Amino acid sequence: MKKHVLSLFIAVWLCTLTMTSCSAAEISAASSGTGLDSAKLTSESQPAAPFLDVPVDAWYAEAIAYCRQKGIMSGTTSTTFVPEATLTRAMLAAVLHRMSDTPTVSDPPAFTDAVAGSWYSDAVSWAAKTGVVSGYGGGTFGVNDPTTREQAVTILWRYAGNPESTGTAGVSDAASISTWAQAAVRWAEVNGILDGMLENNRFDPKANMKRGEVASMLYHYLSNNASSQPEPAASGRTLVAYFSATNTTRPLAEYVADILRADLYEIVPEDPYTDADLAYYTNGRADREQNDPAARPAISGSLENMADYDVIFLGYPIWHGQAPRIISTFLESYDLTGKTIVPFCTSHSSGIGSSDSNLHALASGANWLAGRRFASGTTRSTMEDWINSLDLPEQLTAVDAVTSAAGKAAFNFETKSVTLNSGYEMPINGLGTYSLHGETCVDSVKSALASGVRLIDTASAYGNEEEVGQAVREAMEELGLQREDIFVITKIYPGSEMANPEQSIQACLDRLDLGYVDMMLLHHPDRNDVKAYQAMEKFVEDGKIRSLGLSNWYVKELEEFLPQVSITPALVQNEIHPYYQENDVIPYIQDLGIVVQGWYPLGGRGHTGELLGDEVISGIAKAHGVSSAQVILRWNLQKSVVVIPGSSNPDHIKENTELYDFALTDKEMAKINALDRNEKHDWY
């Protein structure tokens, strides 16, 4: 990556902001590889005639003139700038793709709203594969959706290396800034990057970013010390090639590519494997191939620029103790002499074993590093720790300053889900089953699943895991759902359960009888909580638990607990409702990259009536034509708090899912925030 790569990023970014193609001059400048380095950003640049649609006294006029004069930004025509035009998601993907030296993309975008062969096609494919800009779910990317102001500022902040920024943004609407954007906005404000953009001291984080605002932001960014940043990691020299028949290896490969800013290549069989092919000990296709050392399953397509890579991370699952034979096909398809190969595999139980060393003869001229096996659901941080322990060229171990996550999980209101730090996607609204038993519990869970709920919360202490498991199994059969469609949380309790954690964990799994549990929590702090959590970590390695979390943990407890465990909790579940808001605890947890989930969101036993009847809440509900319960649940979601209200009433269960057709205003959020009494409704 050349020095001053940000300058190139800016030139290309702002080129894509136009609603038409770049001019020939712009394309030449952007593709020359010199970017702003060649312009040297001096006052010697030739003056240009002002844009007709940029008044000389406009607040952004100086910034636009500066950006134009320095070659950072040009107009949509020779006389117009269109300062009100917005930045779309496709444009953002194109910027990031080009900024990463336009890595080769072999597949068209897998989204219904993305056109193969279009100007953004490769960028969207690359962005989705690397996780830089993900799709909405349901098969769409949101190609033409605008980028908001908080998103644009966060991108620039990440590119600057996620500089530390403490305190609270001084803008008047700070409460409406998404949690994941708070640090970026604070940084931009402190460094004067928002100068001129704040009308009445409001940032308007959800408003669409305009070209005039972009020019102003970059003008101030380049004019002060905020643009001083660490040089990003080198790119284009590392490849992550992987085969993933059941999508177990895929997320780990994507983590490696993201961490190293490497290119990602999926080894796709010409003849895809079916479930029957993969069934063990049936003499199916996979069995026959693994028993035949000469088997070489054909690969669909090929990588034309293998010569460009010095390091190859090679990912695969373990089949009968070995790498699938298609890995042999891959290795024998290229000249890998002199390249460094780093194998990694996924397995529920087997180690990497001889699957690593048995591949060496297929690329004998390569430098093979010792491989490692990972369990399904291994976290990004674990992969990062492994990569940093490897003896790789120095530039390859640096975490990318652009594409690394801000550390805070963002709610996706389109898919109604959040991606956990474990890599799994979890619904953001669900059903709590506390106090539900027998047929009432079975019927309630089935009613919830029929209403579209996909998150079910239970616990050993609730005494209803068997009923929850029964309901999930029956709903899968009756509704045609797959196990992966339903996210089940359970918990083990302090005392004897945490004192004998392996036995307690297995008992939960047996009672649920669902093959695996999506998340297991420690129900409360206990003298054996670290011991119990470490036992859960082993179950994660074995694939029986996918994500881990805690319940009723606060700042002090987390500070003491986290240094003693290996897997960062994906979730903390605490009591949260308008009368007990935890406004000091929630940001602390979220800043750790941990999702917050609220139990008793409607106040809990003996308090629900008072809360639903609160004049502030009922008034807001009336204004939106919704119920008080829906207002409270939506308030939680807009604070990035997952909700699990409990109910046995099918109508209430369904009502509690209808949270996405309205949104609370900043003023309404503030009114509910003002209701906080620090009034806890249960003892823990």
β-pairing verdict for 595-599 and 641-643 = parallel
Task: Give residue 92's pLDDT.
Answer: 66
Count other Cβ atoms within 10 Å, centred on residue 57.
Answer: 6
Q: How confident is the model at residue 570 (pLDDT cuts 50, 70, 90)?
A: very high
Q: Count Cβ neighbours within 10 Å for each residue of 104-122 and write b for 16 or more, e otherwise.
A: ebbbebebebbeeeeebbb
Residues 372 and 439 in one domain: no
What DSSP string describes 87-145? -BHHHHHHHHHHHTT-----S----TT--TTSTTHHHHHHHHHHTSS---BTTB--TTP
Give me the mean pLDDT over the 185-191 stretch: 86
Confidence of residue 544 (pLDDT cuts 50, 70, 90): very high
User: Within 10 A of 94 (CB to CB), how many other CB atoms are there?
Assistant: 24
pLDDT for res 114? 83
Residue bearing tokens 């906005």: 185
In a domain, 351, yes or no: yes
Domain membership flag for residue 62: yes
Give Cβ neighbours of residue 454 (< 8 Å, ≥ 6 apart): 427, 430, 485, 486, 487
Q: What is the dihedral of CA 588, 594, 596, 597, to 10 degrees?
A: -160
> What pLDDT sits at residue 665?
86
Domain region containing 243: 238-396
Domain end point (choices 227, 252, 276): 227
User: Catalytic site residue 462?
Assistant: yes
Question: Looking at residue 161, what is its pLDDT?
Answer: 58
Cα(680)–Cα(138) distance, integer angstroms? 39
Tell me the mean pLDDT in the region 106-114. 74
Tokens 């490849």 belong to residue: 239
- The 10s digit of each residue's pLDDT in 278-287 is 998 899 999 9
Same domain as 366, residue 486: no
Together in a domain, 343 and 254 = yes
Question: Of 206, 227, 248, which one is at a domain's C-terminal end?
Answer: 227
Is 56 inside a domain boundary? yes
**Same domain, yes or no: 84 and 212:** yes
- The predicted structure's pLDDT at residue 180: 63
Q: Give residue 5's pLDDT.
A: 39
Alpha helices in 223-371 (DSSP H): 250-260, 275-278, 285-290, 325-332, 353-357
Q: Are residues 463 and 349 in the same domain?
A: no
- Shared domain for 461 and 353, answered yes or no, is no
> Does 227 have pLDDT greater than 90?
no
Residue 461 within any structural domain of the chain = yes
Question: What is the arithmetic mean of pLDDT over 265-273?
Answer: 94
Residue 456 confidence (pLDDT): 98
Residue 288 lies inside a defined structural domain of this protein: yes
Q: Is 194:203 a contact under the CB 8 Å cutoff?
A: yes
Question: What is the pLDDT at residue 312?
Answer: 94
pLDDT at 179 over 80: no
Q: Is the pLDDT of residue 115 over 60?
A: yes
Alpha-helix residue ranges (DSSP H) falling in 500-580? 501-512, 529-541, 555-561
Say yes or no: 9 and 119 in one domain.
yes
Does 403 fall in a domain?
no
Residue finishing a domain among 227, 249, 268: 227
Residue 222 to residues 46, 154, 212, 327, 355, Cα–Cα distance (Å): 19, 16, 15, 47, 51
Report the pLDDT value the prediction gives residue 656, as an integer from 0 to 100. 95
How far, in Å, CA of 473 to CA of 512, rounded?
Answer: 9
Distance CA 529, CA 552 (A): 12
How sure is the predictor about 629, in pLDDT bands with cuts at 50, 70 and 90? very high
415-474 tens-digit pLDDT: 899 988 888 899 999 999 999 999 999 999 999 999 999 999 999 999 999 999 999 999
- Catalytic residue among 159, 221, 255, 462, which? 462
Q: 487-511, pLDDT tens digit by residue? A: 999 999 999 999 999 999 999 999 9
**What percent of the chain is predicted at pLDDT more than 90?**
43
Residue 223 is assigned to a structural domain of this protein: yes
**Confidence tier at 675 by pLDDT (50, 70, 90):** very high
The whole-chain average pLDDT of the chain stands at: 81
pLDDT category at 98 given cuts 50, 70, 90 is low
Same-domain check for residues 301 and 258:
yes
Question: End-to-end CA distance of the chain, in Å?
Answer: 52
Angle at 547 between CA 541 and CA 550, to 5 degrees: 120
Whether 191 and 289 map to the same domain: the answer is no
**Does 29 have pLDDT greater than 70?**
no
235 phi and psi angles, rounded to 5 deg? -130, 165
Say if 408 falls within a structural domain. Answer: no
Is residue 443 domain-shared with residue 386, that is, in the same domain?
A: no
Q: Tokens 């506390």 map to which residue? A: 434
Specify whether 504 is located in the same domain as 583: yes
pLDDT for 133:
60
Predicted local distance difference test score (pLDDT) of residue 1 = 37
* Whole-Å CA distances, 336 to 140, 292, 390, 608: 37, 24, 20, 66
| Alpha carbons 590 and 585: distance in angstroms, whole number | 9
> Burial of 447 by CB count in 10 Å (0-12 exposed, 13-18 middle, 19+ buried)?
buried
Query: What average pLDDT score do residues 592-600 get?
Result: 92
511 lies in the same domain as 441:
yes
Domain with residue 385: its CATH number is: 3.40.50.360
Please identify which residue in the block is written with the tokens 């003139």: 65
Spatial separation of the C-alpha atoms in residues 32 and 307, rounded to whole Å: 22
Confidence of residue 397 (pLDDT cuts 50, 70, 90): very low
Question: CB under 8 Å to 338, separation ≥6 — which residues?
Answer: 310, 365, 366, 367
Lowest mean pLDDT among 99-113, 337-351, 649-663: 99-113
Beta-sheet strand order (sheet of 411-412): 411-412, 417-419, 425-427
Q: What's the rounded Cα separation, in Å, for the pair 284 and 282?
A: 5
Q: Tally the domains of the chain.
A: 3
Instruction: List helix spans (H) across 191-284.
Output: 211-222, 250-260, 275-278
Q: Pick from 13, 458, 390: which is nearest to 209 by CA? A: 13
Here the CATH number for the domain that contains residue 534 is 3.20.20.100
- For residues 314 and 308, the model is more confident at 314
Higher pLDDT, 77 or 576: 576
